[in-house]
Amino acid sequence: MTELTRPARKPARPFFSSGPCAKPPGWSPDKLATQSLGRSHRAKIGKTRLQYCIDLMREVLQLPETHRIGIVPGSDTGAFEMAMWTMLGARGVTALAWESFGEGWVTDAVKQLHLEPTVLRADYGQLPDLDTVDWADDVLFTWNGTTSGVRVPDGEWIPADREGLSFADATSAVFAYDIPWDKIDVATFSWQKVLGGEGAHGVLILGPRAVERLEEYTPAWPLPKVFRLVSKGKLTEGIFKGETINTPSMLAVEDAIFALEWAKSVGGLEGLKARCTANADALAKIVAARDWLGHLAVDHGTRSKTSVCLTVEGADEDFIKKFAGLLDAEGAAYDIAGYRDAPPGLRIWCGATVDTADIEALGPWLDWAYESLKS
């Protein structure tokens, strides 16, 4: 490998991981409120802070009062599996899979719940034909494919008069796009993506049709305690008022509150969306100027603005590992290798907690790593 001159300027915050993601600008541990730490989450202060976190999420997401918000265990995975285990089986199921996590929901439906879903698949970088979805079924889909860099274009493909429920794994989408909540019956996410929060906690959003399903349908399989959302045939409303199923980390909750208050300071949802768009546009300019770089998601209309997946000409898994390792060792970019199940390439987080100047500073370092390995 030939020694090349390193670029003069590094990203000030080289945190480009797609989860957990960069902390909000200005974050430091000493800025977190501490009044709830060391206290029971069931004490007044604990419940107050949990409810405040829920209220902030509703405000920033512009979520209508028709939808409930609950903090649940297990990050986005736990939240989505909670929804699957408690609501599926009442009617047919269609599962859309165009990346790793969508495939995971297919595996759960088939091998764990022993359902026989209709599966609509597409290769990495593509979407299945959304017009072929049968909305007589419950439909499982990923709004923004974290491991493929592909997103659904909008909510127009979801009918208002659908018979089945829409289940959206929206963990890399909420706070980055407009979500048409009237089209969403179930949505899940974690704080660790666009908000730059901590992992281990998931958020479950339920629309009125999902609540109706929970109260009218009992699944055939047993439910573990952490999945139970109903008691005596009625929704356990406390879960959606800060009375969590199990003990949450109040430190993680305070961290999420910090991120949500920061989100309000940059203009709320509109400000977060604008930051994501600016970052994705800056990275797109870098890609367009280099013939050895490309987007895994070719269609701009379905290309992620948060988890941007790139192809590298002639690269295999070993090349990408070395490429990412070089930048990591230099402190120029952390965690930018593509997901392990995806085609070999780079994955650069462009969510709202990343500064556009750091994306711009990354370009010369990508050149340096590429030329170093090629030489």
Q: What is the pLDDT of residues 353-372, one digit of tens each?
A: 999 999 999 999 999 999 99
Q: Fold for domain 29-263? A: Aspartate Aminotransferase; domain 2 (3.40.640)
Residue with tokens 């989505």: 80
List the structure tokens of 261.
């208050």
| Cα–Cα distance for residue pair 242/110, rounded to 1 Å | 33
Total-model pTM:
0.97
Which tokens sit at 42? 């069931």
pLDDT of residue 303: 98
Residue 2: pLDDT above 90? no
Question: Which CATH class name applies to 268-374?
Answer: alpha beta
Give the model confidence (pLDDT) of 177-193 as tens digits: 999 999 999 999 999 99
pLDDT in tens, 73-125: 999 999 999 999 999 999 999 999 999 999 999 999 999 999 999 999 999 99
- The contacts of residue 75 (CB under 8 Å, 6+ apart) are 190, 192, 199, 200, 201, 202
Strands (E) across 103-195 are located at 118-121, 138-142, 166-169, 186-190
Domain coordinates in residue numbering, the chain: 29-263, 268-374
Q: How would residue 15 be classed by pLDDT, with cut points 50, 70 and 90? A: very high
Task: Give the contacts of 46 (CB within 8 A, at least 6 positions apart).
Answer: 36, 39, 40, 242, 250
Average pLDDT over residues 8-36: 97
Question: Phi and psi of 120, rounded to 5°?
Answer: -110, 115
Query: pLDDT at position 3, please?
Result: 73
Tell me, what DSSP letter sits at residue 296? Answer: S
Which pLDDT score is estimated for 1? 53
Res 84: pLDDT: 98
Instruction: Give me the residues paired with residue 116 across strands.
Output: none
Summary mean pLDDT of the chain: 97
Q: Which residues contact 40 (CB under 8 A, 6 or more apart)?
A: 46
The label of the residue with tokens 């370092």 reads 365
